[in-house]
């Protein structure tokens, strides 16, 4: 009886500790949008686009009246992208341009070069 009880308690404790952790998924990824190349047009971005994590194409140009020359996932808004999450920035409004950048970590500025703008974004993976 004692052996059975001790074994049961051990298995229960092991099962509790081995349970997977379920971290809540993000509903959107904040992308800071700048109207100059290099993400450096002042102390703050022109806008922050909250790109939904459902994989849908999010048009960025529609939310701004300024140029969308560069963008970044600012670590002040989101310390890091969740493992397995990618944000793809596109130079067209339909997330279909061959000009795209896949962002896998926060804190890096991205631009497509002179005359090309960050116009849409889409997430993929587990965000």
pLDDT at site 36 = 82
Q: Is residue 10 part of a domain?
A: no
Q: Is residue 21 part of a domain?
A: no
Nearest one of 111, 93, 97, 86 to 33, comparing CA atoms: 111
Tell me the pTM.
0.76
| Number of domain units in the chain | 1
pLDDT at site 55 = 96
DSSP-derived secondary structure letter, 115: T
Lowest mean pLDDT among 1-5, 43-47, 105-109: 1-5
- What's the rounded Cα separation, in Å, for the pair 77 and 28? 11
Q: Is residue 2 part of a domain?
A: no
Q: Is residue 113 part of a domain?
A: yes
pLDDT digit string (tens) for 35-89? 887 887 766 888 899 999 999 999 986 565 677 889 999 998 999 999 999 999 9
Q: Is residue 108 part of a domain?
A: yes
Q: Is residue 106 part of a domain?
A: yes
Nearest one of 121, 37, 48 to 87, comparing CA atoms: 121
Nearest one of 107, 120, 119, 37 to 74, comparing CA atoms: 107
pLDDT at site 73 = 93
The percent of residues above 90 in pLDDT, for the chain, comes to 51
Contacts of 16 (CB under 8 A, 6+ apart): none
32: containing domain = 28-125
CATH code assigned at 67: 2.60.20
Q: Is residue 66 part of a domain?
A: yes
- What's the rounded Cα separation, in Å, for the pair 64 and 28? 18
Mean pLDDT of the chain: 81
Contacts of 46 (CB under 8 A, 6+ apart): 33, 34, 35, 64, 66, 67, 68
For the segment 24-37, the average pLDDT, to the nearest whole number, is 87
Q: Is residue 20 part of a domain?
A: no
């Amino acid at each position: 009886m004692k052996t059975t009880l001790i074994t049961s308690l051990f298995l229960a404790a092991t099962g509790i500790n081995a349970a997977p952790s379920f971290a809540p998924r993000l509903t959107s990824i904040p992308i800071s949008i700048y109207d100059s190349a290099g993400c450096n047009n002042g102390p703050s971005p022109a806008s922050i686009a909250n790109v939904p994590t459902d994989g849908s194409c999010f048009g960025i140009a529609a939310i701004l009246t300024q140029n969308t020359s560069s963008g970044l996932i600012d670590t002040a808004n989101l310390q890091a992208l969740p493992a397995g999450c990618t944000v793809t920035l596109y130079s067209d409004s339909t997330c279909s341009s061959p000009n795209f950048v896949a962002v896998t970590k926060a804190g890096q500025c991205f631009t497509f070069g002179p005359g090309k703008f960050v116009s849409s974004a889409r997430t993929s993976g587990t965000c």
